[in-house]
Amino acid sequence: MSAAAVAVWLGSVVSILSRSHADRNVYPSAGVLFVHVLEREYFKGEFPPYPKAGDANSDPITFNTNLKGYPDRPGWLRYIQRTQHSDGVLYGSPTAEHAGRPSVIEITAYNRRTFETARHNLVINIMGTEEFPLPYQAEFYIKNMNVEEMLASEVLGDFLGAVKNIWQPDHLNAINITSALDRGGRVPLPINNLKEGVYVMVGADVAFSSCLREVESPHNQLRCSQEMEPSISCDKKFRAQFDIDWCKISLVDINRVFPIYITRPEPGNGILPEFGLYDPPSETLMSRNYFSDFLITLAVPSAVAVVLLFILGYTMCCRREGLEKRNMQTPDIQMVHHNSIQKSSKELRSMSKNREISWPLSTLPVFNPVSGEVVPPLHPDNYETTSMPLMQTQTNLQNQITIPQQRPSGKWYS
């Protein structure tokens, strides 16, 4: 290997090591939206070379971010990565409370094909500003955008430009961006290119314009209550790229919500004022006797239960009227009717018990008084009695034999 090739190789190694271990510093302002893109191309040089030339763009890479020494990020900083083949984004809105304290964010990149990792540190130095917070803040709900699409610098710049045209402030900043899913929204169906929606808060140093105030008119408030789209004169300046739900716009004048203190109070020395010597309780305190409390706790409910049990027993056992009193108060005709029903029921039960002992007289054979022949019974054993009609006719009596009768003598008989 030539000296020039070795020098180039060493330079590439040094550059890779420097990118792998050097800290990157950023300086966001308090009260202004902070966006940092974790580019996949930036981390591809950290992984070993690919066996094929076309595999460089196909490896899935994910990122893990956390505050150094802690398992998660600061409360104001959020992270999103839609897929393993897209860039990650760190975004959030730092406040003046975090100013002056650098936050070291550890960024770990994972190659999901080779399982190689690379780690970078991002040092966030939050700068305080006199303009924070801007007194007039407006929050827009954009229905046709996802949060990662809105965080793109071109898209966010177009939106701030449209807001500046209708507001005309001297200073206009994006304060915060929040996904609609973080506000309780539902995940959209994967049809018709539906979006999650995003809330964008912007701040300015001048009062709200008349166009923004149109939402507060009674006519538009009525249309919003009826789930109808309000009529806003400046909506056409957004309609080409941004679909804004004007019923969900929020206009806040923080001067009316809470006062802003220009000068902060001087911090104390951290020492509590004197309250005198601490006088702990004596170790010779008398122990409390809980026996009386125990008796009261058990005796009162037990006494109430015994009284209730006595009243219930007296009512159930000693206050019964009895059968004699009931019979005396019952009318005689009702008693006779009841006794007749009981007697009939007993008779039917006794007859059902003797059903197979003796046959009824209607089933016994009879004799023909003229010929002396035995006439079979009207209902033989194989005769189906269940289908026999109540009123029998001559055609129904197939098994019935007609008994001949003697004719009377006389000349008038015909």
HEC letters along 210-236: HHHHHHHCHHHHHHHHCCCCCCCCCCH
Whether residue 49 has pLDDT greater than 50 = yes
Q: What is the pLDDT of residue 389?
A: 47
Whether residue 6 has pLDDT greater than 50 = no
Average pLDDT over residues 362-370: 57
Alpha carbon distance 185, 179 (integer Å): 9
Average predicted confidence (pLDDT) for the chain: 78
Alpha carbon distance 143, 195 (integer Å): 7
Tokens of 3: 């000296």
Three-state secondary-structure class, residue 89: strand
Whether residue 159 has pLDDT greater than 70 = yes
User: What one-letter code names the amino acid at 309?
Assistant: L
Helices (H) and strands (E) in the chain, counts: 11, 13
Q: What is the pLDDT of residue 285?
A: 75
Q: What is the pLDDT of residue 390?
A: 44
Find residue 375's DSSP bridge partners.
366
DSSP letter at 143? T
Whether residue 15 has pLDDT greater than 50 = no
Distances (CA, A) of 279 to 95, 188, 276, 285: 43, 64, 9, 14
Which long-range contacts link 66-69 to residues 24+ away (Cβ below 8 Å)?
66/105, 66/106, 67/103, 67/104, 67/105, 67/106, 68/104, 68/105, 68/106, 68/121
Whether residue 218 has pLDDT greater than 80 = yes
**Residue 51: which residues within 8 A CB-CB, separation 6 or more?**
none
Tell how strand 23-26 and strand 117-124 pair up: parallel
Q: Which of 140, 142, 199, 130 is nearest to 171 (CA)?
A: 130
Which of 23-27, 170-174, 324-328 is least confident? Answer: 324-328
Alpha carbon distance 297, 307 (integer Å): 17
Alpha carbon distance 323, 372 (integer Å): 62
